[in-house]
């Protein structure tokens, strides 16, 4: 018989440690699982045309339209495995906040999960000339 079985206290301590480790492994999702789920949730909401076809660009980026509002547009770019949020009205910060809230609703996840995804916010010159040509992260990821 091994030493472990001869000493009940040692056996009990070993089992407690093993059970604790198993609990941690089971309760904590593997790294990347949350972001993969968030991305899949967003992609399940691709905007469809009047015939029910998903709106996807024909170019090499394979951009999928996820949200289209007057103030903003949210795309998923398959070629870059990233999300692109375009702010199409002024004031920039006000529209940005609305777009970010919409993005969080799309992915059905927390800000911390959203910060792990590749997300860029841009704006065209006609809407916000002072911010055009720049790329911004999600505002809550800068903290």
Q: Provide the 8-state DSSP code for 65.
A: E
- Provide the pLDDT for residue 49: 84
Q: Provide the 8-state DSSP code for 29.
A: P
Q: What are 7-60's pLDDT values in tens digits?
A: 665 555 555 665 655 555 554 555 588 999 999 999 999 998 888 888 888 888
- Provide the pLDDT for residue 101: 98
92 C-beta neighbours (distance < 10 Å), count: 17
The answer to whether the CB of 93 falls within 8 A of the CB of 133 is no
Cross-strand pairs, 65? 75
**CA nearest neighbour of 68 among 44, 93, 47:** 47
Rounded Cα distance, 24 and 127, in Å: 48
Instruction: Report the first-to-last Cα separation within the chain, whole angstroms.
Output: 57
Span 69-95, mean pLDDT?
96
Choice between 123 and 142, residue whose per-residue pLDDT is larger = 123
Instruction: Give the lowest-confidence range in 17-21, 70-74, 120-124.
Output: 17-21
Residue 4 pLDDT > 50: no
- Provide the pLDDT for residue 7: 60
- Provide the pLDDT for residue 53: 84
- Provide the pLDDT for residue 122: 98
57: Cβ–Cβ under 8 A, 6 or more apart, which residues?
63, 64
Residue 82 pLDDT > 80: yes
Rounded to a whole number of angstroms, the CA Rg of the chain reads 23
For domain 31-141, the CATH architecture is 2-Layer Sandwich (3.30)
Can you read off the two tokens belonging to residue 106? Answer: 């799309």
- Provide the pLDDT for residue 67: 95
Rounded Cα distance, 17 and 19, in Å: 5
Span 92-101, mean pLDDT?
98
Read off the pTM.
0.76
């Amino acid at each position: 018989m091994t030493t472990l079985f001869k000493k009940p206290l040692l056996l009990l301590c070993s089992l407690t440690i093993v059970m604790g480790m198993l609990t941690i492994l089971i309760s904590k999702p593997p790294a990347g699982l949350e972001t993969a789920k968030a991305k899949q949730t967003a992609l399940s909401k691709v905007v469809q045309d009047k015939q029910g076809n998903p709106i996807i660009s024909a170019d090499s980026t394979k951009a999928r339209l996820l949200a289209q509002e007057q103030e903003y547009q949210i795309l998923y770019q398959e070629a870059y495995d990233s999300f692109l949020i375009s702010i199409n009205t002024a004031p920039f910060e006000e529209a940005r906040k609305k777009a970010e809230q919409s993005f969080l609703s799309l992915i059905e996840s927390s800000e911390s999960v959203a910060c792990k995804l590749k997300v860029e916010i841009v704006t065209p010159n006609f809407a916000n000339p002072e911010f055009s040509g720049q790329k911004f992260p999600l505002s809550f990821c800068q903290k």
